[in-house]
């Protein structure tokens, strides 16, 4: 079973069309979820094991100028490595789970006239869309383990992020957004487009447009909010 799942994962990464063919033959959807969970734990555990905690606390609390005295000291004592690790792992897994459920609902709506499969089938397919995120998390763990500095913001821990690739600094209004978007985001869109082409026989242009629409909506709204804040 492990060899079959590894082959499916390899095809999803290297040859998405063939990968989706293998997924259709036997979904094995729990395996990408397990891989995502393990990669999330490894990535954030490695990050917090190597980061300078005092520096990170200053970074996290920098936007909370209303805190002073006892309140600030309480927050510093509260934000230890253990709690930060648990919060990061839990929030990442919640976001990953929500992504799968929302992506499955979106794909079901798109395919409602051509392929009226039950929702659970789309959940199984959407689970494989987390492969790019899993690869990113493993690269993040490697980056954190080999980093030559312990003053690494979470937004720059992903070596594939836009913030890392473009050099957007911590002081920029666009830092959080650029830290959330990266090569893995485009990879997920491309993987979804390949799936739409395989499942529904769409042309590449239409498949890419449908796959890209949710990302444009979410990150576009975020960008507008940042830009509006910059003008105030």
Q: What is d(CA 197, CA 125) in angstroms, rounded to the nearest whole number? A: 13
Task: Give the residue carrying structure tokens 């979106």.
Answer: 106
- Rounded Cα distance between 42 and 184, Å, is 18
pTM of the model: 0.89
12 token code pair: 């999803």
Contact between 49 and 152 (Cβ < 8 Å): no
- Which of the four pLDDT bands, split at 50, 70 and 90, describes residue 221? very high
Give the C-alpha separation, 154 to 55, whole Å. 12
Q: What is the pLDDT of residue 110?
A: 94
Q: What is the mean pLDDT of residues 125-154?
A: 91
pLDDT tens-place string over residues 132-145? 999 999 999 999 99
Lowest mean pLDDT among 69-83, 102-116, 134-148, 200-214: 69-83
pLDDT at 187: 95
- pLDDT, mean of residues 82-107: 95
**pLDDT, position 65:** 56
- CB of 226 closer than 8 Å to CB of 173: yes
pLDDT tens-digit readout, 51-84: 988 888 877 776 665 556 676 677 777 788 889 9
Q: How many CA atoms lie within 13 A of 180 on its CB side?
A: 12
């Amino acid at each position: 079973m492990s060899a079959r799942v590894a082959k499916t994962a390899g095809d999803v990464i290297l040859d998405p069309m063939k990968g989706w063919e293998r997924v259709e033959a036997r979904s094995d959807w729990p395996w990408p979820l397990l891989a995502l969970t393990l990669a999330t734990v490894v990535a954030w555990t490695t990050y917090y094991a190597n980061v300078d905690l005092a520096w990170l606390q200053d970074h996290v609390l920098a936007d909370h100028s209303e805190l002073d005295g006892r309140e600030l000291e309480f927050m510093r004592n509260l934000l230890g490595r253990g709690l930060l690790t648990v919060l990061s792992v839990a929030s990442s897994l919640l976001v990953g789970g929500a992504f799968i459920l929302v992506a499955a609902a979106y794909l079901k709506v798109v395919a409602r006239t051509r392929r009226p499969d039950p929702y659970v089938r789309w959940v199984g397919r959407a689970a494989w869309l987390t492969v790019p995120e899993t690869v990113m998390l493993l690269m993040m763990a490697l980056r954190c383990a080999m980093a030559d500095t312990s003053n690494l913001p979470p937004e720059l821990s992903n070596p594939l992020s836009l913030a890392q690739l473009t050099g957007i600094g911590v002081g920029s209004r666009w830092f959080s957004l650029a830290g959330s978007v990266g090569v893995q985001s485009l990879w997920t869109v491309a993987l979804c487009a390949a799936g739409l082409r395989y499942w529904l026989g769409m042309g590449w242009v239409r498949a890419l447009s449908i796959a890209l629409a949710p990302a444009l909506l979410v990150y576009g709204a975020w960008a507008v909010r940042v830009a509006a804040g910059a003008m105030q």
